[in-house]
Amino acid sequence: MSLTTEKAGVSAKESAGSIVNYRPAYLAMAALGTFYVGIRIYEQYFGWKAGLDSFAPEFQTYWLNIMWTELPLEFLAFCAIGGYLWKTRDRNIDAVTPREEMRRLITLIGWLLVYAFTVYWGASYFTEQDGTWHQTVIRDTDFTPSHILEFYLSYPIYIIAGWGAFMYGRTRIPQFANRISLAFLMFFAGPFMIFPNVGLNEWGHTFWFMEELFTAPLHWGFVFFGWFGLAMFGTVLQILGRVIELSKEFEKDVLAI
Amino acid sequence: MSLSNETAPAAGRAWASKEEFIGCVKLTDWILLLILFLVLLGSFHIHYMLLAGDWDFWIDFKDRRMWPTVAPIVAMCFAAAAQSFFWQKFRLPFGATVACFALLVGEWINRYDNFWGWTFFPINLVFPSALIPMGFWLDVVLLLSGSWIVTAVLGGMGWGLLFYPSNWPVLAQFHQATEVDGVLLTLADLIGFNYVRTGTPEYIRMIERGTLRTFGKDVVPVAAFFSGFVSMLVYFLWWKVGGWFSTVKYLENDDV
């Protein structure tokens, strides 16, 4: 009878070695960072060359084709990550050992690191970039070059990362599996709602696009859902709380650091 | 048969050794701080750019009435929330400064790489507002008083009053008067008119105008005082918001 998990993949070797492994998170961040720098170079060139007139054939070639490719891939990635994590969930989660639970908590922190990294790119880098593009180039479509990379690429990517983090906790860590963390739910669901809010935003922009303020009330839906990023406070506290519970024997040592 | 714990070095315990634990704590603390920093950056930035962005983006929006009113009030939200979390949970007195620093990191990267690098606006037109001195002030008041009420009142007012002086050394040169084709305007206006944007039309640009511009010398102190007043109120609210987002409550699975 398993004392810990029926999930495949937790080998004896893993348990015997160090449980502190952030390398997958570092690799994911390096890959995503490289990817984002690559598309930034792409838009530097093709934004001006082919992104000014949505009725032009080159706009279809260089921009709309990206959108029609990225959206299905993102949907598939979202389903695949959620499906994989659910399919390989721990079916005997209440029997997990403290060491295995700690390893999973550290893996979750790695997921959150990747999520935070993608939130930076989506909410900060590409969102303000969108401001300068639309202050410069009058839009003639909702699917502008900056939108294709902001709304329909960087936002879904952080949603997928947040979804992965949330599902990892829900399927592998007792405190997040047996009940639903309010903070973690808000930390994932709030920024997620920024993406559906694009519907409101673009609907509003169909009324005008010749001149605009970035601070127009139409944009405030993004602000409201962005506030939910602060729910990382509660999420971090819940993780730290459990780490402290599992590390009681070293309480004096950690206070001496 | 167990797949994991029979070969673990310390069965029934989380850590194989004290060294493993200490090493993990040191590394993971930094990673958690990085997570907090990046998410603060993203959330604060999207909040700030969509509530005060136009005044922060452009030198010709950095006027004496709207900019010193709107920018501090909007920035106070995340400064107060970050203080609430770091002070109440960890007694760390750097929440406001970290929040301001995070925002400015995101802004400077963007202004260089995108405003200048992609759409070719000069940095003189698009540099962000300075906020770090205000963050220092708020953190120092909290550290010395140990009271969020005192910080709301003293810190909030100081936050609003400090904004314009903190930015003045950079801004002063752009508020020099100039005359172009018989029209009196500032250098900031002139730069702005040379870089036409979708926010350029005068019925869009929200800056001081009318009689207050005629009686210009009193505009900044009045705007700063008003900004400080609202910042105090915003601090009260957002200290609680920060506390609310620090919740460690759980919902039952059946609740959702």
pLDDT in tens, A199-246: 999 998 888 766 788 999 999 999 999 999 999 999 999 999 999 999
**B114, B200, B241: best mutation site toward chain A, by most A Cβ within 10 Å?**
B114
Pick the residue with more confidence: B137 or A212?
B137
Nearest-CB residue to B106 (from A100, A124, A133)? A124
User: Which residue from A minimizes the CA distance to B36?
Assistant: A232
| ipTM (interface pTM) | 0.92
- Domain at B18-246: CATH code: 1.20.1450.10
Separation between Cα atoms, residue A127 and residue A121, nearest integer Å: 8
pLDDT value of position B211: 53
What pLDDT was estimated at residue B203?
86
pLDDT given for residue A13 in this prediction: 47
Contact A43 B118 (CB under 8 A): yes
**Which of B35, B86, B89 is best to mutate for the A interface (most A CBs within 10 A)?**
B35
Please tell me which of the candidates B21, B51, B126 has its beta carbon nearest to residue A250.
B21
Q: Which CATH number is associated with domain A18-255? A: 1.20.1050.50
Q: Which residue, A210, A35, A136, A46, is CA-closest to B116?
A: A136
- Residue-wise pLDDT for A31-86, tens only, equals 999 999 999 999 999 999 999 999 999 999 999 999 999 999 999 999 999 999 99
Do A135 and B57 count as a contact with CB atoms less than 8 A apart?
yes
Residues 6+ apart with CB under 8 A from A27: none
Contact B32 A120 (CB under 8 A): no
Residue contact B41–A120, C-beta within 8 A: yes
Phi, psi of B63 (to 5 degrees): -95, -165
Structure tokens, A82: 């959620």
Average pLDDT over residues B190-209: 89
Minimal C-alpha gap between B186 and chain A (Å)? 21
Q: Please report the pLDDT score of residue A12 as a whole number.
A: 47
pLDDT at residue A210, rounded to an integer: 64
If you average pLDDT over every residue of chain A, what do you get?
91
Alpha carbon of A47: minimum distance to chain B alpha carbons (Å): 9
Residue A28 confidence (pLDDT): 98
Contact A128 B121 (CB under 8 A): no
Please, which residues have CB within 8 angstroms of residue A121's CB and are 6 or more apart in sequence? A32, A36, A154, A157, A158
pLDDT band of A118, cuts 50, 70, 90: very high
The reply to whether residue A182 touches residue B22, judged by beta carbons under 8 angstroms, is no
* Residue A1 banded pLDDT, cuts 50, 70, 90: very low
Higher pLDDT, A114 or A248: A114
Task: Quote the pLDDT of residue A256.
Answer: 73
The whole-angstrom distance between B66's CA and the closest CA on chain A is: 13
Chain A positions in Cβ-Cβ contact with residue B5 (cut-off 8 Å) = 3-4, 15, 97, 99-100
> Residue A180 pairs with which residues in a beta bridge?
B251
Q: Which two tokens stand for residue B153?
A: 């009142």
Q: Given an 8 Å threshold on Cβ–Cβ distance, is B198 in contact with A128? A: no
Percent of chain A with pLDDT over 90: 82
Asked if residue A4 has pLDDT above 50, the reply is: no
Residue A140 pLDDT: 87
| Per-domain residue ranges of chain B | 18-246
φ/ψ of B246, rounded to 5, equals -90, 10
CB contact under 8 A, B81 and A230: yes
Query: B114-123 long-range CB contacts below 8 Å, 24 or more apart?
Result: B114/A125, B114/A128, B114/A129, B114/A132, B114/A133, B115/A132, B115/B57, B117/A44, B118/A43, B118/A44, B118/A47, B118/A129, B118/A132, B118/A133, B119/A132, B119/A133, B119/A135, B119/A136, B121/A132, B121/A136, B121/B195, B122/B191, B122/B195
pLDDT at A181: 97
Average pLDDT over residues B127-148: 98
**Cβ A3–B2 below 8 Å, yes or no?**
yes
B254 has a pLDDT exceeding 90: no
Note whether A182 contacts B249, CB cutoff 8 Å: yes
Least confident of A11-25, A83-97, B19-33, B239-253: A11-25
pLDDT of B156 higher than 60: yes
Cβ atoms of A25 and A114 closer than 8 Å: yes
Average the pLDDT over B99-119 and give the result: 98
Residue B214's pLDDT is: 57
Query: Greater confidence, B33 or A19?
Result: B33
- Min Cα–Cα distance to chain B from A84, Å: 20
Rounded Cα distance, A32 and A77, in Å: 14
- Above 50 in pLDDT, residue B35? yes
